Amino acid sequence: MVERLLNIELAHQELLRQGLTSRAPWILILEDDAWSANIDDLADGLTDLLELAEVSVRFINLSESFDLSELGIKHLLGDSDYSWHGSTTRAVLSAQQPVTNTVCAIAYRSYFAEQLLSAYASMPMRPVVPIDWKLNQALMDMHSSGSLGVGSCWWVVPGPIDQLSMRGDP
């Protein structure tokens, strides 16, 4: 289990580095259990969202892994001025404090990916914890230092991407 968690963490970090090398403005990372019931909805909504996102938005949660009430974070999320332009009705919510669901499906702005890799590098490898936990720790640290503020995180709800390991087969 420890080896598996380390492999997932190192793979996630390597994908961030590869995204930075590509010089793309956004880096979309999908885990191997990510699945979308409607690819056209995902493509239309995500393309539009990434083009319209304010500069202050550093990352966008796209997965439907854990329910917001299950995570206990509903109070952190409010309406944004943006809407999902796919064929399925979804809300684009803005977080008062940055938080993530899982790393199953997240779009990272490139300059934020650089900051995130730096934050990961400053974290100890032990204890070995899931990358989701490390990401949330990095977000809390960045928020506490003032480098990540209100509105820096968006959530698409319901997420256009399901994490199959959390839901089972489609």
Phi, psi of 159 (to 5 degrees): -60, 140
Q: How many other CB atoms sit within 10 Å of the CB of residue 156?
A: 25
* 3.90.550, 1.10.287, 3.40.630, 3.30.750: CATH of 2-167: 3.90.550
The tens place of each residue's pLDDT in the chain, 170 residues long, gives 899 999 999 999 999 999 999 999 999 999 999 999 999 999 999 999 999 988 899 999 999 888 888 888 999 999 999 999 999 999 999 999 999 888 999 999 999 999 999 999 999 989 999 989 999 999 999 999 999 999 999 999 999 999 887 665 55
Q: How is the chain split into domains, by residue range?
A: 2-167
Dihedral angle over CA of 80, 83, 38, 132, nearest 10: -10
Query: In which residue are the tokens 């790393």 written?
Result: 103
What is the CA 15 to chain-centroid distance, rounded?
Answer: 13
Separation in Å, CA 96 to CA 77, 148, 154: 6, 10, 10
pLDDT of residue 167: 64
pTM tops 0.85, yes or no? yes
Predicted confidence at residue 65, as pLDDT, reads 82
User: 81, 87, 43, 76: which is closest to 62 by C-alpha?
Assistant: 43
Give the position of tokens 């087969």.
Answer: 169
